[in-house]
Homo-oligomer: A and B are copies of this chain.
Amino acid sequence: MSETKILLSERDIPRQWYNIAADLDTPLKPPLHPGTKQPVGPDDLAPLFPMALIEQEVSTQRWIDIPEEIIDIYRLWRPTPLYRARRLEQALDTPAKIYYKYEGVSPAGSHKPNTAVVQAYYNKQEGVKRLATETGAGQWGSALSLACKLFGLECTVYMVKISYQQKPYRRSLMQVWGAEVIPSPSPRTQAGRAILEQDPDSPGSLGIAISEAVEDAASRDDTKYSLGSVLNHVLLHQTIIGLEAKKQLELAGDYPDVVIGAHGGGSNFAGLAFPFLADKAAGKEVRAVAVEPTASPSLTRGHAAYDFGDTAGMTPLLYMYTLGHQFVPPGIHAGGLRYHGAAPLVAHLYEQGVIEAKAVPQRAVFEAAVQFARTEGLLPAPESAHAVRAAIDEALLAKEEGKERTILFGLSGHGHFDLAAYDAYLAGELEDFELPQEAIDAALAHLPKAD
C-alpha cells in the first residue's frame, strides 16, 4: 500500500498568503457606513483593528508575505497532513479518489488558530496590549486565547452566557490559555447592561456578545477587536490551508476535480478553496463547493444584499449572501456554522457563478461523520462533517456514473469536544431542520433598506 498521509516539512510552509481579491473579474463591493451609506475608510476601522490588518482587508495585491514570526508559530502545528482516504474509498466502493486536509492537529483542534495568531501578531506589533472578542461555543475564543498567550497579549472573550453555563469545557480551555472569559450579556458594557435591565436572565446571543466585544475595544485605547471569520483578512490568512494542500497534491501527482469545504462565515471554505480558484482564474477546470447546514442556508436560500455583520446592527454594512442579520438559526450542533451571512468574498464568487453551494441536513451530516470515523478513524467536528457528507455524496455519484474523479475536502477540526452531539445522534435524538419559506422571508424582511 502506498502512503496514507502526504506530509510537508516546516521548510515547505508557504511564505505568502494568497489574496483572491487580485483575481476577481469585477471588484468587491465595499463595506458601507450604515448611516451615510458611503464606503468606510481605514479611519473608520482604526479604533477596532490595527493598520496592518486594515491594509490587508482592502489589498488587491495577489501575494502577501507571511512574517517570519508567524511562520515560527505556525511550526507548532503546520504543515498539517493531507490524507488519502483509502479506507473510506474502499468502504464506498467508489472509483473516486478522496483526499482530506486535516486541521485538527492544531492545539485548539481546529483551523481557527491560523488567523488568530496572525491577528495577535499584528496587534502586538502596533503596541496593542489587549484583544476583545466574542465566542459562541468557544472555538474562536479558544484560538484567540492561545494566540494572545503566545504573543503576550491580554485577551477578553465575551462568551454567550448559555454556552458559558452549559459548555464549560471550552471556557476552561480559554482560561488555561490565560484569557478572561465573561458571560455575555455582562454588566461590563453599556450594551450588556441594557440587555440585563430588560432581562436579567438573558441567555445571551452571538449578536449581543459581538456588541459587547466591539464596545469594549472601541472604548479602550489599549484594546482592539478581533473577528474569527467573514472579513477579507481572515479569509486571506486561512489560505495557508489550500496552499499547503496544493503542494501536497502535487507531491501525490494529483489535482482535484472538486474542492469541498464546510461553510459558516466562510473562512474555512475560503482557506481551502481560494488557492485552487487561482488556477480556475487561470483557465484550469476545478469546482469548489461550499457546504452549509439546511438550518442556516445563507448561500442556498439567502439574498445577495448589504447587511450588518452582527445581529445587533453595529458593524458596517457588508455585501453578503444573507438570511437577514436578525435570523436566528435553529440549534444545530455545528455551532460554528450558525451564522446569518456568507463572507463578502465568498458571496461575490457565488454571485458570479465561480463557486457552488449545497445545503445538507443534520442527520445526514452525522451519518457521514460516523461512517468516516469508522473507516478513517478520526472523529470529525460537526462543522467539518458537512464537508464529509458532501465528499461522500460526490464519491457515490462517481460510483453511480462509473467515472473516476479526485475529491479534496477540508476536515477543519476534530470532534473530541463534540461528543454530546454524537451521543444525541446515536440516541436518535437529532432533528433535521428544513426551514419553511415563511421563516426565511420573515428574516429577510429585516434587511437594511438600500438608499
Q: CB within 8 Å of B: which residues of A?
A: 1, 3-5, 7, 9-11, 72, 75-77, 87, 105-107, 109, 146, 149-150, 168-173, 175-178, 370, 373-374, 376-379, 414, 416-417, 419-420, 422-423, 426
Contact = CB atoms under 8 A, between A and B. Distances in A.
A419 B175 CA distance: 10
A370 B4 contact: no
A420 B374 contact: no
A378 B106 CA distance: 8
Contact of A176 (B5, B178, B417, B422): B422
Contacts of A1: 72, 75
Contacts of A106: 377
5 contacts: A3-B9, A149-B374, A169-B420, A171-B423, A177-B374
Give me the 5 closest cross-chain CB pairs, A-B, nearest first: A107-B377, A169-B419, A4-B75, A172-B423, A172-B419
B76 A377 contact: yes
* Copies of this chain, count: 2
Contacts of A5: 10, 75
Given A10-B4, A105-B105, A416-B417, A422 B172 contact: yes
Contact of A169 (B7, B176, B423): B423
Given A168-B423, A173-B419, 19 more contacts: A1-B72, A1-B75, A3-B9, A5-B10, A7-B9, A77-B377, A87-B150, A107-B377, A107-B378, A146-B377, A150-B377, A168-B419, A172-B423, A173-B416, A175-B423, A176-B373, A176-B426, A177-B374, A416-B417
A233 to B, nearest CB: 22
Nearest to A369: B176
Contacts of A420: 168-169, 172
A168 B152 CA distance: 36
Nearest to A113: B377
A11 B377 CA distance: 21
Contacts of A77: 377
A171 B420 CA distance: 10
Contacts of A173: 379, 416, 419, 422
A425 to B, nearest CB: 9
Contacts of A378: 76, 107
A87 to B, nearest CB: 8
A8 to B, nearest CB: 9
A426 B178 contact: no
A87 B72 CA distance: 10
A288 to B, nearest CB: 27
Nearest to A150: B377
A107 B379 contact: yes
